[in-house]
């Protein structure tokens, strides 16, 4: 089963550039380990929430707004998609991700992907 | 005969449903299917046993019948699915690829272990953990659980649905956690069992202090947990702790009023439970280093062993609370520690501790903080301050019996008849 591990973190840069480096290295380590196990389906960091644009329908039109969907202390900073046996395995991986559990501020939210059977995906592709 | 077999069916159901459902869930890969199958088997038992007589091994009969129902269910669903050729997708968790084979012997290791770890998985909220544990492992019906927690049935039903859906959709595994994750996960199981006990021991709401049914159920679950993992000393200690608390049940209420430990008629204490509790503590001590339950059980034992309130070894109790604080620096434990100090090293010393704890403001909304402070002030003779602390506690208490007690104390320090 595939899980998306959403990485939420505080956006202000850490006081020391070395810790920035350490976090980035931590992510690379997790990615390498997951890739070696063959369960890494994707992982990308995002640009900060200051670059976010929100599109929301209003009165039948789509309005475009500057900024993230929710103003919170912790913002979505990146994601992993991992193919795990079950939630426990996903939790173990989440614990390795540097943000939150790995020392830096923030947290990881684990969400199972709503797996669509292949034939539905194919149908969608043909429309 | 009919009544006999009905009673037999019900008693077997009550005793064995936890074990049976645990295996059915493993075979079916679904809580709902397992529950349906067991329900159908139970209905069959009620229809068949009056005619055929009660089988020699009623639990095995129920298990076999429920497994057949499960297989039938699977077949029906497959046929149905084959008929429907419209596009549909399903989100399934752990459906076995093949038909479950009939299992005549109960599965080893006991499937109830998987069940309890899944029900108490930290990814479920605590309300869901409690409801699901009582429903499946405890074999209580939804209305029974709702009644025990004084909640509307739909609320309880909703909690169960939500918990089961999360297990299914997020793939919470149905297995005993590996050794490296066991301590953390076992702690979560113990918390749920003790939470059920405490909700029974001091009901947070309502006009009854003790909800005996919940205490009994928690002790039953505690026994199951001890039997399943007897080498975990904290399982043994948790059972001891519950028994020792429960031994005082009859003495805690008199004419609908709360009687404090100090004022209880100790001849009403259940000596059978006390001696079982004491023996269990000895076992726990032999099996492992003192964890939080072992220390709490030791404290309860010191109360249980004191023939009169004045013989209580408060010094030892204070020392045990200090140990407990090392493991868990919670303000509630600090409060209990302060009370033990008041009783062993002097009221003034205890009050100093209590006010230090109060300074953090963390216990401002905790009625027992104000009650403990009021109690010491009352003993010292600072009646005015005591009265205002009792009033504060009274505002925060939610249980009617406890409110009644606090009102009595308040009247006492105000020098007026209640």
What token pair was written down for B117?
A: 């770890």
Pairwise CB contact (< 8 Å): B172 & A88: yes
Which residues, including other chains, have CB under 8 Å from residue A19's CB and lie 6 or more apart?
A104
Pairwise CB contact (< 8 Å): B170 & A112: yes
Neighbours of A95 (CB within 10 A): 12
Q: Among residues B210, B82, B196, which one has the least CA distance to residue B135? A: B196
Residue B411 has pLDDT above 80, yes or no: yes
Residues B187-200 have a mean pLDDT of 92
Q: Which residues of B touch A86 (CB under 8 A)?
A: 171-173
Q: If you average pLDDT over every residue of chain B, what do you get?
A: 88
CA distances B83 to A116, B33, B57, B77, B80, Å, are: 21, 21, 39, 10, 5
Tell me which of B108 and B160 has the higher pLDDT. B160
If DSSP codes are grouped into helix, strand and coil, which group holds residue A76?
A: strand
pLDDT band at B256 (very low <50, low <70, confident <90, very high): confident
Residues A56-74 have a mean pLDDT of 87
Beta bridge partners of A110: A5
Worst-scoring range by mean pLDDT, A46-60, A96-110, B220-234, B260-274? A96-110
- What DSSP state is assigned to residue B85? -
Pairwise CB contact (< 8 Å): A120 & B91: no
Q: Among residues A68, A13, A23, A79, which one has the least CA distance to residue A46? A: A79
Tell me which of A19 and B191 has the higher pLDDT. B191
Neighbours of A43 (CB within 10 A): 19
Closest CA of chain B from A115, distance in Å: 7
Q: What are phi and psi of B417, to 5 degrees?
A: -70, 145
CA angle A9/A15/A17 to nearest 5° reads: 90
Tell me which of B279 and B96 has the higher pLDDT. B279
Give the DSSP letter string of B193-232: HHHHHHHHHS-SSSS-S--HHHHHHHHHHHHHHHHHSTT-
Residue A25 has pLDDT above 80, yes or no: yes
Query: Which among A87, A117, A123 has the least Cβ separation from residue B171?
Result: A87
Closest CA of chain B from A87, distance in Å: 5
Worst-scoring range by mean pLDDT, A38-47, A48-57, A118-127, B15-24? A118-127
Q: Which residues of B touch A84 (CB under 8 A)?
A: 171
The model's pTM is 0.84
Q: What are phi and psi of B41, to 5 degrees?
A: -65, -40
Q: What is the pLDDT of residues B125-134, one digit of tens each?
A: 999 999 999 9
d(CA B297, CA B289): 13
What is the pLDDT, as a whole number, of residue B326?
Answer: 95
Q: Which residues of B touch A117 (CB under 8 A)?
A: 89
Closest CA of chain A from B57, distance in Å: 37
- Name the residue of chain B whose CA is nearest to A118's CA: B89
What token pair was written down for B84?
A: 């429907």
What is the pLDDT, as a whole number, of residue B89?
Answer: 42
Residues B216-238 have a mean pLDDT of 94
What is the pLDDT, as a whole number, of residue B140?
Answer: 87
- Chain B CB within 8 Å of residue A114 CB: yes
Query: Which among B89, B121, B171 has the least Cβ separation from residue A1?
Result: B171
Residue B104 has pLDDT above 70, yes or no: no
Q: What is the pLDDT of residues B20-65, one digit of tens each?
A: 999 999 999 999 999 999 999 999 999 998 888 889 998 899 999 9
What is the pLDDT, as a whole number, of residue B20?
Answer: 93
In chain A, residues 92-111 whose CB comes closer than 8 Å to chain B: 110
Q: What is the pLDDT of residues B78-98, one digit of tens each?
A: 887 777 644 444 434 444 444
Residues B303-316 have a mean pLDDT of 94
């Amino acid at each position: 089963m595939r899980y998306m591990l959403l990485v939420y973190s505080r956006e202000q840069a850490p006081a020391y550039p070395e810790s920035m480096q350490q976090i980035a290295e931590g992510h690379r380590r997790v990615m390498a380990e997951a890739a070696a196990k063959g369960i890494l389906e994707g992982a990308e960091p995002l640009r900060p929430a200051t670059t976010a644009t929100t599109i929301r329908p209003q009165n039948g039109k789509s309005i475009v707004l500057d900024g993230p969907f929710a103003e919170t202390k912790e913002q979505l900073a990146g994601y992993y998609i991992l193919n795990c046996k079950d939630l426990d395995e996903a939790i173990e991986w989440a614990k390795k991700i540097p943000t939150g559990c790995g020392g830096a501020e923030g947290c990881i939210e684990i969400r199972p992907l709503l797996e669509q059977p292949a034939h539905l995906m194919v149908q969608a592709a043909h429309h | 005969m009919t009544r006999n077999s009905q009673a037999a069916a019900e008693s077997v159901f009550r005793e064995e449903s936890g074990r049976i459902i645990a295996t059915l869930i493993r075979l079916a890969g679904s809580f709902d299917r397992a529950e349906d199958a067991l329900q159908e088997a139970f209905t069959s038992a009620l229809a068949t046993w009056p005619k055929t007589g009660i089988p020699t091994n009623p639990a095995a009969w129920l298990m076999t019948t429920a497994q057949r129902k499960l297989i039938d269910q699977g077949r029906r669903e497959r046929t149905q699915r084959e008929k429907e050729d419209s596009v549909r997708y399903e989100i399934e968790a752990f459906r076995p690829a093949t038909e479950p084979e009939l299992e005549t012997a109960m599965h080893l290791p006991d499937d109830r272990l998987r069940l309890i770890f899944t029900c108490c998985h930290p990814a479920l909220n605590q309300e869901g953990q409690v409801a699901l544990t009582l429903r499946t492992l405890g074999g209580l019906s939804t209305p029974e659980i709702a009644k025990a927690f004084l909640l509307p049935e739909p609320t309880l039903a909703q909690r169960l649905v939500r918990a089961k859906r999360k297990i299914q959709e997020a793939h919470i595994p149905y297995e005993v956690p590996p050794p490296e994750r066991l301590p953390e996960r076992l702690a979560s199981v113990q918390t749920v069992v003790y939470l059920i006990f405490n909700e029974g021991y001091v009901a947070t709401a309502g006009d009854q202090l003790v909800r005996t049914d919940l205490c009994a159920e928690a002790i039953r679950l505690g026994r199951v947990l001890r039997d399943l993992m007897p080498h975990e000393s904290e399982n043994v200690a948790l059972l001891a702790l519950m028994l020792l608390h429960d031994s005082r049940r009859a003495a805690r209420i008199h004419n609908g009023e709360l009687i404090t430990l100090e004022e209880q008629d100790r001849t009403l204490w259940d000596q059978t439970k006390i001696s079982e509790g004491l023996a269990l503590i000895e076992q726990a001590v032999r099996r492992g280093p003192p964890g939080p339950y072992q220390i709490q059980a030791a404290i309860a034992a010191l109360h249980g062993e004191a023939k009169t309130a004045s013989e209580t070894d408060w010094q030892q109790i204070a020392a045990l609370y200090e140990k407990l604080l090392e493991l868990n620096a919670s303000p509630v434990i600090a409060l209990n520690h302060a009370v033990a100090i008041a009783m062993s090293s002097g009221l003034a010393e205890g009050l100093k501790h209590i006010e230090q704890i109060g300074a953090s403001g963390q216990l401002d909304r905790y009625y027992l903080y104000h009650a403990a402070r009021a109690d010491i002030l009352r003993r010292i003779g600072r009646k005015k301050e005591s009265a205002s602390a009792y009033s504060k506690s009274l505002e925060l208490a939610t249980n009617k019996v406890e409110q009644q007690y606090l009102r009595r104390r308040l009247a006492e320090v105000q020098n007026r008849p209640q």
